Amino acid sequence: MQFPLEGLKVLDFSRVLAGPFAGRMLSDLGADVVKIEPPEGDVTRYWGKVIAHLPGYYHQQNAGKRNICIDLRHPDAKALVNALVAEADILIENYRPDVMGRLGIGYEDLRAINPKLIMLSISGFGHDGPESRRAAYAPVIHSEAGLIYRSHQEASLQQTDPHFQDLPLSVADTNASLHGLIGVLSAVILRNQTGLGQHIDIAMIDATIATDDKMHYDLEASGETGPMRNEIYSLAFSSVLISTDFRLLFKLLIDHGHLTDPSPKDASLEDKIRLRRGAVYQLLQAQTTEAEFDTLMRSINVAWGTVRNPSSIRQQATVAHRGSIVDIDDRAGGVRPITQSPYRFSNAKSGVRGPAPHRGEHNDEVLRQWLALPEGKITALADQGVVLSDANDRAKNP
């Protein structure tokens, strides 16, 4: 079996998450992804556990890629980038919309070199609006797109801690990245018909709103028509989330003979709610093991989940069975865990293809393979400071 995207060449100019995650997924699907890193390095090289000079956050988002470090401010850098673009199928970048143009490597410049190039640009607010040059990371979009407000509003209804706080993951980045991948692969299919590439402008705020399944409640001021929030109960064996409206949960427990309605017919609504919630709470607390609780939930066909500490995610049954976390070479004589590709094909391969690269680790290799540059030319580029590497820096400053 082969990888679905074997043969595609990708230049990944991006940093942090939205762009690098897209590049990581393309690599997992078989593309040759070359990360173009600036001399100062990706900021994520400061985040996470460091093994063999590779921090965890950077490692997770850049595993399987190769790496060239180019000083884009060097006068000779543009010619080198243009030569690489001439060989590339896809280019990913997530700078502010004016940056690539100022460097002389905007889409119009690159299209003239390679009309088949597919360029994915991910930014906070898009390339053509009033906020196009506004700095944006995922938390900014979580705020502007209403996710933080809604999270606060729902927490207030549950009488839990009501202060505003960000989400515990960068969903605005990964949503934009995944929508960007759909755009890129659609453009690859279209290029097979037309012979021409595309510039894909993905705004994180667009991707977040488009992927927000609750947005219609806010747009139509109809929040009261939606289901009640899923509730979490602390039971003897664990805390569990029950994925259904409490009103339906109560009805199902009654219908299947697990409960009788404890509230008299003439009780006030407030008393009915109190008595019914009390009865359900007592029934759930009587389930002293996970097996007993699961049997109860299966009998009424209600989904539930353990409130799991993510540090134990590898012990989750399906995660363990499907290999959602795998161990790969840590480049220090051992292994380290990493998230696996989620794609499972019936007749093709996918999956993380190796550890993340050091800065400039593949300068020589890529320049030989992509551009057929002779050793002397590659050495000259390094001597001039056009390309750099961690290995050279560590040799100079051990």
Q: What is the 3-state secondary structure (H, E, C) of the chain?
A: CCCCCCCCEEEECCCCCHHHHHHHHHHHCCCEEEEEECCCCCHHHHCCCEECCEEHHHHHHHCCCEEEEECCCCCCHHHHHHHHHHHCCEEEECCCCCHHHHCCCCHHHHHHHCCCCEEEEEECCCCCCCCCCCCCCHHHHHHHCCHHHHHHHHHHHCCCCCCCCCCCCCHHHHHHHHHHHHHHHHHHHHHHHHCCCEEEEEEHHHHHHHCCCCHHHHHCCCHHHCCCCCEEEECCCCEEEECCCHHHHHHHHHHCCCCCCCCCCCCCHHHHHHHHHHHHHHHHHCCCCHHHHHHHHHHCCCCEEECCCHHHHHHCHHHHHHCCEEEEECCCCCEEEEECCCCCCCCCCCCCCCCCCCCCCCHHHHHHHHHCCCHHHHHHHHHHCCEECHHHHHHHCC
d(CA 398, CA 393): 8
Which residues are designated catalytic?
173
**Structure token pair of residue 37:** 């890193």
Name residue 123's beta-bridge partners. Answer: 203
Is 21 within 8 Å of 337 (Cβ atoms)?
no
